[in-house]
A and B are shown apart, each in its own frame.
Chain A
Amino acid sequence: MSLPRAAYDPRRVCVIPFPIVPFMRHKRAIGVYAAGALFAMAQWLFLDAAILSAHARPPPDAPYDEVPVHVTFVDWVPGICSTLGMLVVNLINRERLMGEGGGLSLGGWGEGGVVWRARLFLFLGFALMAGGLAGSVTILVLKYIIPEWPDKYEYYGVANVAQNVCIMLSAVVLWLGQNTQGEYEYRLAL
């Protein structure tokens, strides 16, 4: 008596295996495209708020009132921080990051080692992105929610938070997309 041959990968995690998507071969390209789209969407969300603020007029029934709040340079700072952080995270060489050191004289965890420096820069990049997100929430609360402007003006702050969330998502998607080994796994699955 013999058991039927297993048709699945014995290293599987789930009882029901994930279906192999036919366009898995283009996984990397799709990830990068999605990251670019998210990044552009983030910037345009904020630019929308900025352009809306630049064209804001007082209501027609009170034409001599001043528009109470505008998008100023303070609102630009979190987005600039997030974008810089994304740049830093993606400029790091992945192989340096994964190395456990010991073999090469320069590698390893020693003071000034390559892996140590790569992880320091990775930390700096993520800190810049998280700082941008935190800064955008701070601006939303301090500049737009606490003074209780009408909803029309709170949109500026909400757009700022959405921009930073989208930039972070874009960095994550880009990271995941570039770390897949599409073609190799695909060939194995065949």
Chain B
Amino acid sequence: MAAGLKTVILLSFVLAVGFLLVILSCALWANWLPLLVALTFVLAPLPNSLFRNCATDDFGAADYAEGSGPIDLGHFMTACIVVTGFALPLVLAHSGVIHPMACVMSIVGGGLVYGTILSYTAVFRADPDEF
């Protein structure tokens, strides 16, 4: 269990660094629009987790190969939200609303936050399969 504990500590550290970068990118230039990036990346895993169980039939067997509309919708929306998270600061910086440095910082911070969420679900979803 020590490995799991270390993973949790490492992930929470990365998450904190990500949020620190996003909040710094807002606070240094007193322009709080980049905070939307953090919100976007936090919302990104939501469609997938909402629609995950839609592919299972009555016997609990996942049969995604046959094709499942809700699952596809979840994937589509996830990709849309992730691209939005990266595109939003770029667009804001392009039109001069936020400083270019704030754009870079919020993208890196948002990427760290989203990477944390992804790896957290990947690490802790694999655990029940082993037992």
Which residues on A are within 8 Å of B, measured CB to CB? 28-29, 32-37, 39-41, 44, 47-48, 51-52, 54-55, 174, 178, 181-184
B64 CB to nearest chain A CB (Å): 7
For A185, the closest partner residue in chain B by CB is B65
Interface string of B61-86 (1 = CB under 8 A from A): 00011010000100111111111100
Q: A37 to B72, Cβ gap below 8 A?
A: no
- Residues of A within 8 Å of B94, CB to CB, are 48, 51-52
- Residues of A within 8 Å of B95, CB to CB, are 48, 51-52, 54-55
Given contacts A44-B83, A48-B91, contact A36 B76 (CB under 8 A): yes
Q: B78 to A36, Cβ gap below 8 A?
A: yes
Given contacts A37-B83, A47-B91, A51-B95, contact A29 B75 (CB under 8 A): yes
Q: B75 to A37, Cβ gap below 8 A?
A: no
Q: B75 to A32, Cβ gap below 8 A?
A: yes
A75 CB to nearest chain B CB (Å): 16
Q: B64 to A36, Cβ gap below 8 A?
A: no
Q: B80 to A37, Cβ gap below 8 A?
A: yes
Q: A41 to B65, Cβ gap below 8 A?
A: no
For A34, the closest partner residue in chain B by CB is B79
Q: A178 to B79, Cβ gap below 8 A?
A: no
Q: B87 to A55, Cβ gap below 8 A?
A: no
In-complex Cβ contact of A40 among B67, B87, B96 (8 A): B87
Q: A28 to B64, Cβ gap below 8 A?
A: yes
New A-B pairs, 8, CB < 8 Å, besides A33-B78, A44-B91, A51-B95: A28-B67, A32-B79, A35-B79, A40-B81, A40-B82, A44-B84, A174-B76, A178-B67
- Residues of A within 8 Å of B92, CB to CB, are 51
- Residues of B within 8 Å of A178, CB to CB, are 67, 72
**How many Å lie between the Cα of A16 and that of B50 in the bound state?**
43
Q: A51 to B91, Cβ gap below 8 A?
A: yes
Show 27 A/B contacts (Cβ-Cβ < 8 Å), sorted by A: A28-B64, A28-B65, A32-B75, A33-B75, A33-B76, A34-B79, A35-B79, A36-B75, A36-B77, A36-B80, A36-B83, A37-B79, A37-B82, A37-B83, A40-B79, A41-B83, A44-B83, A44-B84, A44-B91, A48-B90, A48-B94, A51-B95, A52-B94, A54-B95, A55-B96, A178-B67, A181-B65
